[in-house]
Amino acid sequence: MTAEHSAFWDDLAEDLHDPEFLRHYVVESIRIGTIDRIVNELDEARDAADLSKAALARAISADPAVVRRLFSAKHVNPTLGTLAEVAAALGMRITLEPLPPAERKSVTEPLLDGRAADTQALAQHLSELRNGTSPSAAA
């Protein structure tokens, strides 16, 4: 780990001591990770169905640019309605699932309490969520 990389993580861990910053950072990390995962799974289903983006757009009565942006843009923020329509056109639906116990403890408790016992571990866990990698169980 480089000194620059370590300094970033140290600064982030320090910033996570602020309850308002912590809550905002947790919410944004979960939002980014969740949307990325859903969009990636929908794109994989679209590809597996051999359905073009234009055909998918026609199926949901959307402008083709909407679907192109959904699957091509680096930073998308689709509505739940758009995701549900795309999922339905692909024979899927979006559902909620409970977080595993370890993740509930590492994410939900700090979000509700506004503090984390180990801000370094929380920062690492949220980074993994944002990047779509498996969250470590130790977080």
Would you say residue 2 lies in a domain? no
**Mean of the per-residue pLDDT values of the chain:** 88
pLDDT of residue 9: 86
Q: Rounded to whole angstroms, how far apart are CA atoms 94 and 85? A: 10
Would you say residue 1 lies in a domain? no
pLDDT of residue 132: 75
pLDDT at 71 over 70: yes
Would you say residue 139 lies in a domain? no
Q: Which domain holds residue 102?
A: 9-131
Q: Average pLDDT of 33-55?
A: 95
Would you say residue 37 lies in a domain? yes
Assess contact for 96 and 8: CB atoms under 8 A. Answer: no
Judged on CB neighbours under 10 Å (0-12, 13-18, 19+), 95 is exposed
Q: Rounded to whole angstroms, how far apart are CA atoms 125 and 111? A: 13
DSSP assigned state of 52: -
pLDDT band at residue 58, thresholds of 50, 70 and 90? very high
Would you say residue 123 lies in a domain? yes
pLDDT band at residue 35, thresholds of 50, 70 and 90? very high
CATH number at residue 52: 1.10.260
Q: Average pLDDT of 3-15?
A: 82
pLDDT at 70 over 70: yes
Would you say residue 76 lies in a domain? yes
Proportion of the chain above pLDDT 90, given as a percent: 63
**Structural domains counted in the chain:** 1
Angle at 130 between CA 22 and CA 27, to 5 degrees: 35
pTM of the model: 0.82
